[in-house]
Amino acid sequence: MRSDVDVVVIGAGIVGAATALALTRAGFRVAVLDRTLPNTAGSGTTAGNLHIQTIHTRRPGQGTAVDVEQLLPLQKSASTLWNRLDETVPGLGLNRCGGFMVAETEEQVHALITKHRWERAAGIPTEVLSGDEARQALPLLGPSIRAATWCQWDGFAEPDLAGPALLRQAAAEGASVHPSTPVIGLTRESDVWTVGTNGGTWIAPAVVDVAGPWMAPIAAMAGISLDLVPTSLQMHALKAAPRTLEVLVQHVGEGMSIKQDRTGRLVLGGGWPAGAFHDTETAPSRPDSTTGNLEQVRRLLPALGQNPLVDTWTGPVLTTPDEMPVIGELAGAPGLFVAGGTYSFTFAPLWGRVLSALVRGTEPEVDVSAFSPNRLVRLRTH
């Protein structure tokens, strides 16, 4: 089978789904290829937080800090786009519950005040609260909390709903979706790309590699080696009564997030490490990550400290050496674009819009030049 389209999107997670929808709405003929079933890897296993106010700069065990100030204008743009998608994509699972970012030490309080200044400059509304003011607003917060920032734009999207909803909408508007169709070849000749799979061949002038942890192997098929490292993170869920926690709570200095999903579970995230990433198998969980995450709950939200653990799961993410996002066209490979890395779930709608503009050959609405994939090119194999 041979199919001629305008763009092939490789990867049907949330970034691929958002990109397919943006490209389809821009008038392109789009084919989406996924190595397995869509939304069963990274974006389907994440905690699903929308990071609108600045979060901690390091997840547990992370060496390089994220330059969080640089990302704030992108977070504002992404926030607006999530709202627009919620108006046009049924079943997105978006919950704008608002969120607290808490601090326990003097240094962390200073970080809250600094980030509040950055957020105000970026047009993101946050409010600095004392510990007592924060506890008055959310009595569940523990006595160790000295200050907090509140952002009404914070929230989450249900990860088992958001990606599939975007993908369904892309298909409804004209994209073709091909699950269990792993790419085995990617070559360019006469200004078009040939994308080979066991199920057929797609020919297109543009290819978008949004394969998450498998982004680098896809790029390598085109002869480009990218310095990208897949890793695995761990999430937890606690049992709780309905409406126990109606906001998102995060920690400014530690890997910590907690909110209550639509099923009533308290979902814990924050970037705690799981076992080693494996290409075809789910990474094992790590007992020390479970212990660390649960100890945070007991300290920060003491009333929830004895809630039973009902689930633990792991999922892969893509990391860059500088812990910043990656998006853009690959030098030496015209028409081959990539996107992923830090904040991918939050940035998915924005990356879709940016990639759509880049494929059209126009300037995107936000400056992403600092996140060019060409900073990560290690060598050319041909």
Per-residue pLDDT tens for 146-184?
Answer: 999 999 999 999 999 999 999 999 999 999 999 999 999
Angle, CA of 246, 263 and 40, to the nearest 5°: 115
Q: Which residues are registered as beta bridge partners of 94? A: 157
Tokens in use for 127? 């409010």
Pairing of strands 266-273, 257-260: antiparallel
Strand order in the sheet with 94-95: 49-50, 155-157, 94-95
Residues in the chain: 382
Please report where in the chains the tokens 């691929």 appear, as a residue.
16
Tens digits of per-residue pLDDT, 39-74?
888 888 888 999 999 988 888 888 888 899 999 999
Q: Among 138, 168, 136, which Cα is nearest to 154's?
A: 138
Q: What Cα–Cα distance (Å) separates residue 84 from each residue in 34, 94, 169, 340?
A: 26, 11, 14, 21
- Per cent of the chain over pLDDT 70 is 99
Going from the N-terminus, what domains does the chain have, and what CATH number goes with each? 2-43+160-226+322-380 (3.50.50.60)
Residue 276, pLDDT > 80, answer: yes
Is pLDDT above 50 for 381? no
